[in-house]
Homo-oligomer: A and B are copies of this chain.
Amino acid sequence: MPERSTIYQVAERSGVSTATVSRVMGNGTGFSAATRDRVLATAAELGWFPSGTARGLASRRNGIVGLLFPDLGTGESAEDESPLYVDQVIRGAEREATARGDAVLIAATRGESGRELAFSVASKCDGVVVVARALAENDVADLAQRLPVAVLSDRVGRMARADAVGVDNRGGTGAVVEHLVREHGYRDLAFVGGPSGSPDSIDRFAGFRAALLAEGLDAPDRPDAEGAFTESGGARAVAELVGRRRPRAIVCGNDEMAIGALTALAGAGLRVPEDVAVTGFDDLAAARHVHPHLTTVAQPIRDLGAEAVRAVLARVASPDVERRSIVLPTRLVVRHSCGCVHGQVPAPRPEGELG
């Protein structure tokens, strides 16, 4: 590795001051075409380009937005142990950031190492987006006191001066329940939730419960079963659930759990959707691939990431804009696992007919 050249070399070699070199590389005005060409040429000669780090220090703008997310995977377990959801958030964030000339610095918090990692990442960024559960609330508050922060969760809570962006979780599961009850006539629904601390899971259950009550049906106080937001988590939770009772439909907290549910139900000798209907949440690509095709709630995950980055960058530009709380819409996607056939809803059939 040859010694890196600096702006000084370039300036000297092209017979100008460092200020001029700086102007040529950055603010595109304040120099003649001739000097620009000369500077650019010697820069190329020397293989030099300005240090983003030094630039960041001097201009107080790093061109980096951080993205903190939780990684539940142990590293030992199968790939399905890590929520695919986050991949989409990352992509969405990346697109928005790159479009605006910034890059995204990612890091996953695992276990209790969160705070330190978060500060380390934040110290290199202009702002940070924090995916729900990546960081303790007070750590988020501490961060937000130092630089712009957006939280990916519709829980605005007491997150001091942090913007929030989330999706309409309640409306999502609400629509599912309505469909299941009104179109299919199911009356015995169960909810299989994610980790009990997850805001998403909590809100989705709230929507489930509210819709059930609105339909004049009984509703449980808490999810009928819970597990990690993963395929195996869903499989375990559902296996346990059907060992206990036989709901006519199982509303799952996300697609990965629903896919696990499919496996568990097959293992229990139950047919989907004939014996028990299953629904998910997310509309991952896999939802279209599993058998039967999964009825689920689509949420614009990529947009979540993009929107969060936008919020952060907005606050970087003007730190004192009012706090925003953005809620993105969800949309019911009807496929076959609910009992619909090619988009057609079969005539409601009394429960129990199939034993």
Q: Which residues of A pack against B, CB within 8 Å?
A: 1-2, 4, 47, 49-57, 62-64, 66, 71, 75, 79-80, 82, 84, 87-88, 90-91, 94-95, 97-98, 101, 103-108, 110, 117, 119-124, 142, 145-148, 259, 285-286, 289-291, 302, 319-320
Contact among B91, B120, B290 for A52, CB-based, below 8 A: B120
CB neighbours (8 Å) of A88 from chain B are 79
Give A285 to B36 CA distance when docked, in angstroms: 52
CB distance from A218 to the nearest CB of B (A): 34
Known contacts A98-B108, A98-B117; A123/B53 CB under 8 A: yes
Give A290 to B286 CA distance when docked, in angstroms: 8
Q: Are B124 and A62 in contact (CB under 8 A)?
A: yes
Q: Are A90 and B62 in contact (CB under 8 A)?
A: no
CB neighbours (8 Å) of A290 from chain B are 289
Contact among B53, B259, B289 for A57, CB-based, below 8 A: B53
Known contacts A1-B320, A49-B123; A91/B82 CB under 8 A: yes
Q: Are B124 and A79 in contact (CB under 8 A)?
A: no
CB neighbours (8 Å) of A142 from chain B are 47
Q: Are A124 and B52 in contact (CB under 8 A)?
A: yes
Q: Are B53 and A124 in contact (CB under 8 A)?
A: yes
Known contacts A53-B53, A146-B4, A259-B289; A103/B120 CB under 8 A: yes
Q: Are A47 and B145 in contact (CB under 8 A)?
A: yes
Give A95 to B4 CA distance when docked, in angstroms: 29
Known contacts A286-B289, A290-B289; A319/B1 CB under 8 A: yes
Give A124 to B49 CA distance when docked, in angstroms: 11
Q: Are A90 and B75 in contact (CB under 8 A)?
A: no
Contact among B2, B53, B82, B106 for A56, CB-based, below 8 A: B53
Q: Are B64 and A105 in contact (CB under 8 A)?
A: yes
Known contacts A4-B146, A75-B95, A145-B47; A107/B106 CB under 8 A: no
CB neighbours (8 Å) of A108 from chain B are 94-95, 98
Give A3 to B28 CA distance when docked, in angstroms: 30
Q: Are B55 and A123 in contact (CB under 8 A)?
A: yes
CB neighbours (8 Å) of A122 from chain B are 49, 52
Q: Are B57 and A54 in contact (CB under 8 A)?
A: yes
Q: Are A53 and B63 in contact (CB under 8 A)?
A: no
Give A119 to B2 CA distance when docked, in angstroms: 17
Give A2 to B319 CA distance when docked, in angstroms: 10
CB neighbours (8 Å) of A94 from chain B are 71, 106-108
Give A47 to B182 CA distance when docked, in angstroms: 54
Give A123 to B59 CA distance when docked, in angstroms: 15
Give A167 to B108 CA distance when docked, in angstroms: 26
Q: Are A79 and B289 in contact (CB under 8 A)?
A: no
